[in-house]
A and B are shown apart, each in its own frame.
Chain A
Amino acid sequence: MSSQQPPILERILFTEEQIQQRIKEVAAEISEKYRDRNLKLIGVLKGSVFFLTALAREISIPVKIDFLAISSFANSVGTPGLVRIAKDLDEGIEGEDVLLVEDIVDTGFTSRYLLQTLAGRGPNSLAICTLLDRTPRRIVQVPVEFRCFEIPDRFVIGFGLDYKQLYRNLGYIAVMKPA
């Protein structure tokens, strides 16, 4: 994407270099922890795609990769209904050590639903690796074992995170101007 900053940005929170460096560090932790285990990275579409790809390339042990997606509250018509799996995993996870890879964890609502769903499928272990962790907004406690950055309670975009489906392809993470 063009290096010119979109006008909706207030400031860059993490540069591309900072992100890459931190991903390398977290990937080393993951490689150490899951040595001699059956690690599977599960990415949550669409936000985690950029992070999962960068992370997987830095992990030094063999990993499997799969993706899932959930329905969106915003897309619900009328009464909001219930969150459900919109795109399921291609393969089972029984006996595997699953690392759910998220772009951001804030309230923990989404993560909890996904963990509950995956837990019923017999994985050996289940944990979360997130690019961004917005702990001030946490309501549901979820096991975030690996995090790249803790962030303040601001709306951020870039490196997979969107605003109205745009700006995922920014190489950096930026704070949006208040509405």
Chain B
Amino acid sequence: MGLITVSGEPGSHHEEVARLTAQRLQFELVNDSRLSAMIAEEFGADAGLPDRAWRHVAAHILARLATEHHLVVAAPGAELLFRNFPNWLRVEVVAPEPRRVGALMIDRGLERAAARQSLGELETARRQERKRRFGRVTAPATLFDITLNSEALDSEQMAALLEEAARIRGVLEQGLLSSSAAAQIQFQIRLQLARHGIAPAGKASLKRNQFSHPSEEIFANLLDFYRIAWEYEPHSFPIQWDREGKVLEAFTPDFYLPEFDMHVELTTMKQSLVTRKNHKIKLLKTIYPQVNIQVFYQKDFQNLIFKHGLAERAAQL
């Protein structure tokens, strides 16, 4: 199987490197938010898993996925998830402090001094989380096969290097993780989880992106072009229940942009036909006021693709 884990400090943009690497190699990307969603799917959103069980919980899910997919994993502490895992490339992305401070200036709209302080707080939080989950604060250099410095390399160049490293290492020639190897790993992990009284259900899975409309693919291409991470239909929100509490209707926004905690719904049908969808979105906003959703109507979408010179493609939709 192919497994590449990409770790990095806050502001190092290691998730972007992981995403671009996954695109180049056509591996499945499992980032922090996707992994959290799968853990919730496997164990329940309110399972209250102990911190010390996290690595085993995550490893259990990833080992199972690895029998069906080649993976690029970008989650904190990913380099510590397995021991003696076959054909695994562990990558660390580092960046000089000014660059990481700069990243926070943009991501959080801060001036340099405030961004520097914010970076310090994030690093402290990350260390504490690492200590809780893995019992250690730092990651020694020997835990990584490759360390990339983004001072001179941009994310695209780093992804190109990792693609080449994967070739040299023979990651691409290996098949998926065999069932027997996965079973062996799972056995060890289940023993660890049993100590915490946890029995995995084997439910979590990776859903492949199958766009239901060509406009969604165009939008996904735009996001890729602008290096914006996205997930396709990752969340469904129940909006109507019967008296017994059974979900009668749910709304699933088309895209989720994890960096901005934002959902995007594309509505390319005519304005006169969107009343029902608008009603659903209004319900969603009422029931889940914390959910950030942006709706792109036909006119918005046409203007967007017009601006990007894609009007001819849009005319074919």
A107 to B109, CA, bound (A): 16
Q: List 8 A-B contacts (CB under 8 A).
A: A75-B309, A112-B106, A125-B111, A137-B303, A143-B109, A155-B303, A179-B302, A179-B306
- Check if A109 sits within 8 Å of B228, measured CB to CB: yes
- Check if B106 sits within 8 Å of A82, measured CB to CB: no
B77 near A: Cβ within 8 Å?
A: no
Closest to A76 in B: B225
| Proximity string of chain B (209-228) to chain A, C-beta cutoff 8 Å, 1 when within and 0 when not | 00000000000011111111
- Check if B257 sits within 8 Å of A139, measured CB to CB: yes
Chain B CB within 10 A, most for which of A76, A119, A124, A155: A119
Q: A113-B226, A153-B299, A179-B302 are in contact. Are A106 and B105 (CB under 8 A)?
A: no
- Check if B302 sits within 8 Å of A126, measured CB to CB: no
- Check if A74 sits within 8 Å of B308, measured CB to CB: yes
- Check if B105 sits within 8 Å of A119, measured CB to CB: yes
A-B contact count (CB 8 A): 101
A35 to B109, CA, bound (A): 21
For chain A, residues 84 to 135, give those with C-beta under 8 angstroms from any C-beta of chain B. 84, 106-107, 109-110, 112-113, 115-116, 118-126
A18 near B: Cβ within 8 Å?
A: no
For chain A, residues 63 to 94, give those with C-beta under 8 angstroms from any C-beta of chain B. 72-76, 79-84
A138 to B294, CA, bound (A): 8
A contact patch SS:
loop
- Check if A155 sits within 8 Å of B306, measured CB to CB: yes
* The residue from B98, B226, B306, B310 contacting A109, defined by CB atoms under 8 A apart: B226
A62 near B: Cβ within 8 Å?
A: no
Q: Smallest Cβ distance from A65 to chain B, in angstroms?
A: 22
A69 to B311, CA, bound (A): 23
Chain B residues near A80 (CB-CB < 8 A): 221-222, 224-225
Q: Smallest Cβ distance from A114 to chain B, in angstroms?
A: 9
With A112-B226, A116-B13 given, name 20 new contacts (CB 8 A).
Answer: A73-B225, A73-B310, A74-B310, A80-B225, A106-B304, A106-B307, A109-B222, A112-B228, A113-B226, A113-B227, A116-B103, A119-B99, A120-B99, A123-B112, A125-B111, A139-B257, A139-B260, A142-B106, A143-B106, A179-B306
Q: Smallest Cβ distance from B70 to chain A, in angstroms?
A: 20
Q: A82-B227, A83-B227, A115-B106 are in contact. Are A139 and B264 (CB under 8 A)?
A: yes
B258 near A: Cβ within 8 Å?
A: no
- Check if B102 sits within 8 Å of A119, measured CB to CB: yes
Which A residues have a C-beta under 8 Å from some C-beta of B? 72-76, 79-84, 106-107, 109-110, 112-113, 115-116, 118-126, 136-143, 153-155, 179
For chain B, residues 275 to 317, give those with C-beta under 8 angstroms from any C-beta of chain A. 294, 296, 299-300, 302-304, 306-311
- Check if B227 sits within 8 Å of A72, measured CB to CB: no
Q: A74-B310, A139-B262 are in contact. Are A121 and B227 (CB under 8 A)?
A: no
Q: What bracket does the count of chain B residues touching chain A fall in?
A: 35 or more
Closest to A124 in B: B112
- Check if B307 sits within 8 Å of A155, measured CB to CB: yes
Closest to A121 in B: B102
Closest to A114 in B: B106
Chain A residues near B32 (CB-CB < 8 A): none
| Proximity string of chain B (138-170) to chain A, C-beta cutoff 8 Å, 1 when within and 0 when not | 000000000000100000100000000000000
A80 to B308, CA, bound (A): 11
Chain A residues near B307 (CB-CB < 8 A): 106, 155
Chain A residues near B227 (CB-CB < 8 A): 82-83, 113
A137 to B302, CA, bound (A): 12
- Check if A81 sits within 8 Å of B225, measured CB to CB: yes
Chain A residues near B111 (CB-CB < 8 A): 124-125
Closest to A154 in B: B303
A130 to B20, CA, bound (A): 30
Chain A residues near B105 (CB-CB < 8 A): 115, 119, 125-126
A142 to B228, CA, bound (A): 14
Q: Smallest Cβ distance from A158 to chain B, in angstroms?
A: 15
List of 10 A-B pairs having minimum Cβ-Cβ separation, nearest first:
A74-B309, A119-B102, A109-B226, A120-B99, A115-B106, A143-B109, A80-B225, A120-B102, A73-B308, A122-B98
A84 to B109, CA, bound (A): 22
For chain B, residues 257 to 276, give those with C-beta under 8 angstroms from any C-beta of chain A. 257, 260, 262, 264
